[in-house]
């Protein structure tokens, strides 16, 4: 969520930002609701002030008749206050709903979609492997090597679920361990997080848990939902906290399952385990001081770690600077890694394997995560960032397809061998 004062002071910028992001908003409604809210606050505060005065008089009043009159007046005030409070609640609910629809502002260097460039490829690393044979896609490889059981997944949980099997299970653990070890060395605090979270936490991060187009599985008769990413639980971990500025930046890494409904996504591009309802992921999450220079720096650091992971896996990738109309609501800027997947499409395609966003203070404001700086009065909202360390399903696709051999076997990337325990699958 943006700061209301900022929105009112910078109407033009907010409006053009929304246009760049392909979102229509009615700022007049926000301004009207704000005025209405402020009037109600002023009126109600005045009533409460009167009430205080009055109830201070009552114990001093000796005349019983006057006293009764004062008490009657007090009752009246109480009712007026209650009525005002209800109106105020309505106004604030409406205002919050409108404010929630506003996306974050956008980094000045992020590509603007309307100038027809769209997202920009910043750089490539490595090269696509050359095969002396027609490379298979991960579904075919997994079938040959008995690594994934889609049919059991469908029988047990429905379409979009799967069982990892045999070496794929070891591969999953290896990727998790590889990422966790690396992040620990980089100064991240490791967490294994809950797979469920309260709706208010999901909303604070920027998800809409219960709408008609939700990507979220929610638990009936409760305020809990299955998390779509550990971003939710890592950011939520410090909800309503005031952090010491000298402890920032704080870097968390979280292991969780991720659950997504993926409503209406089918077809070849999402074959196999590319788009599934459940997967395992190691996520990075950062909290920095309220300064874009600081959060930008950590953003670069997070992307560098993502690149390092794929470089050590020796998998060709490119880095994308996401265009304004493709940014999620909370993101100020977003970089994606797209790894080369030789079995994807007709002759191989890039597929998204990581995503790193700087959300500035957008999430922190909703979650109430602030910090205190010694030289400044009061508190400021921190900046939050998130990035994928390793998303297992997608990473497994990249490994299987890039490391497949002519004889049908798959070589295990060197950095994963300590945990897989084998040099070759099949």
Partner RNA sequence: GGAGAGAUGGCUGAGUGGCCGAAAGCGCCGGAUUGCUAAUCCGGUGUACGGGGUUUACUCGUACCGAGGGUUCGAAUCCCUCUCUCUCCGCCA
Cβ proximity to RNA: between 5 and 12 the closer is: 5
- What the block records as the tokens of 273 is 């385990």
Q: Which region among 194-202, 301-309, 374-382, 399-407 touches RNA (by CB under 7 A)?
A: 374-382
Per CB under 7 A, 170 contacts RNA: no
Subset of residues 52 to 81 that bind RNA, contact rule: CB under 7 A: 52, 54-56, 58-59, 71, 74-75, 77-78
Residue of 402, 412, 329, 323 lying closest to 102 (CA atoms): 329
- The answer to whether the CB of 379 falls within 8 A of the CB of 347 is no
- What the block records as the tokens of 363 is 């999430």
Per CB under 7 A, 241 contacts RNA: no
Per CB under 7 A, 159 contacts RNA: no
Residue of 7, 59, 48, 47 lying closest to 28 (CA atoms): 7
Cβ proximity to RNA: between 311 and 379 the closer is: 379
Inter-axis angle of helices 292-312 and 167-185, to 10 degrees? 140
Shortest Å, Cβ 386 to RNA: 24
Subset of residues 108 to 147 that bind RNA, contact rule: CB under 7 A: none
Cβ proximity to RNA: between 309 and 382 the closer is: 382
Per CB under 7 A, 300 contacts RNA: no
Subset of residues 79 to 98 that bind RNA, contact rule: CB under 7 A: none
Subset of residues 20 to 49 that bind RNA, contact rule: CB under 7 A: 38, 41-42, 44-46, 48-49
Shortest Å, Cβ 192 to RNA: 13
Alpha-carbon dihedral 173, 179, 185, 190, rounded to 10 degrees: -70
Shortest Å, Cβ 282 to RNA: 22
- What the block records as the tokens of 403 is 């490391």
Per CB under 7 A, 366 contacts RNA: no
Cβ proximity to RNA: between 66 and 75 the closer is: 75
Q: Tell me, by CB under 7 A, how many residues bind RNA.
A: 26
Which residue from 316, 333, 334, 370 is in contact with RNA, where contact means CB under 7 A?
Answer: 370
Cβ proximity to RNA: between 4 and 273 the closer is: 4
Shortest Å, Cβ 352 to RNA: 34
Cβ proximity to RNA: between 70 and 128 the closer is: 70
Q: Are strands 317-321 and 333-341 parallel, antiparallel or unpaired?
A: antiparallel
CA Rg value for the chain: 27
- Cβ burial of 379 (10 Å; 0-12, 13-18, 19+) is middle
Q: How far apart are CA 362 and CA 360, in angstroms?
A: 6
Cβ proximity to RNA: between 4 and 398 the closer is: 4
Cβ proximity to RNA: between 37 and 394 the closer is: 37
- The answer to whether the CB of 342 falls within 8 A of the CB of 401 is yes
β-pair partners for 335? 321, 356
DSSP state of 404: B
Q: Which region among 141-149, 179-187, 226-234, 377-385 touches RNA (by CB under 7 A)?
A: 377-385
Per CB under 7 A, 369 contacts RNA: no
Per CB under 7 A, 11 contacts RNA: no
- What the block records as the tokens of 207 is 């998800």
E strand intervals along 31-85: none
Euclidean distance between the first and final Cα of the chain, in Å?
51
Shortest Å, Cβ 85 to RNA: 9
DSSP labels, 291-329? -HHHHHHHHHHHHHHHHHHHHHTT--EEEEE--GGGS-T
Sheet with 370-372, strands from edge to edge, namely: 242-244, 370-372, 380-381
Cβ proximity to RNA: between 244 and 423 the closer is: 244
> What is the contact surface with RNA in residues (CB under 7 A)?
4, 38, 41-42, 44-46, 48-49, 51-52, 54-56, 58-59, 71, 74-75, 77-78, 370, 372, 377-379
């Amino acid at each position: 969520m943006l700061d209301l004062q900022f929105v009112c002071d910078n109407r033009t910028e907010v409006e053009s930002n929304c246009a760049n992001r392909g979102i229509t908003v009615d700022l007049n409604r926000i301004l009207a609701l704000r005025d209405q809210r402020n009037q109600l606050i002023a009126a109600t505060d005045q009533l409460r002030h009167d009430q205080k005065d009055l109830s201070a008089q009552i114990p001093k009043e000796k005349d019983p008749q006057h006293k009764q009159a004062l008490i009657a007046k007090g009752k009246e005030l109480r009712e007026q206050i209650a009525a005002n409070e209800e109106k105020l609640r309505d106004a604030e609910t409406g205002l919050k709903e409108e404010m929630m629809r506003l996306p974050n502002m956008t980094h000045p260097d992020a590509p603007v979609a309307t100038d027809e460039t769209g997202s920009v490829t910043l750089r490539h690393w490595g090269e696509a492997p050359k095969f002396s044979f027609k490379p298979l896609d991960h579904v075919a490889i997994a079938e040959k090597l008995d690594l994934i059981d889609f049919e059991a997944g469908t029988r047990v949980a429905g379409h979009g679920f799967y069982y990892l099997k045999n070496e794929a299970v070891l591969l999953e653990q290896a990727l998790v361990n590889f990422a966790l070890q690396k992040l620990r060395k980089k100064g991240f605090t490791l967490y294994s997080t809950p797979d469920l979270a309260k709706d208010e936490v999901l909303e604070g991060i920027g998800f809409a848990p219960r709408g008609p187009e939700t990507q979220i599985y929610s638990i009936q008769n409760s305020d809990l939902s299955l998390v779509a990413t550990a971003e939710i639980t890592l950011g939520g971990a410090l909800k309503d906290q005031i952090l010491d500025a000298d402890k920032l930046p704080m870097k968390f890494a979280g292991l969780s399952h991720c659950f997504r409904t993926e409503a209406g996504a089918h077809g070849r591009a999402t074959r196999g385990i590319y788009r599934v309802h459940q997967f395992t992921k190691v996520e990075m999450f950062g909290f920095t001081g309220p300064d874009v220079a600081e959060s930008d720096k950590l953003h670069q650091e997070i992307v560098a770690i993502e690149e390092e992971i794929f470089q050590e896996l020796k998998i060709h990738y490119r880095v994308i600077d996401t265009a304004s109309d493709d940014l999620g609501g909370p993101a100020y800027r977003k970089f994606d890694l797209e790894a080369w997947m030789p079995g994807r499409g007709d002759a191989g395609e890039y597929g998204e394997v990581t995503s790193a966003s700087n959300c500035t203070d957008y999430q922190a404001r909703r979650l109430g995560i602030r910090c205190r700086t010694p030289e400044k009065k009061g508190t400021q909202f921190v900046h939050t960032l998130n990035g994928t360390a390793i998303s297992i399903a997608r990473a497994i696709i990249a490994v299987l397809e890039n490391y497949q051999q002519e004889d049908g076997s798959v070589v295990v990337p060197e950095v994963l061998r300590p945990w897989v325990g084998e040099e070759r699958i099949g």
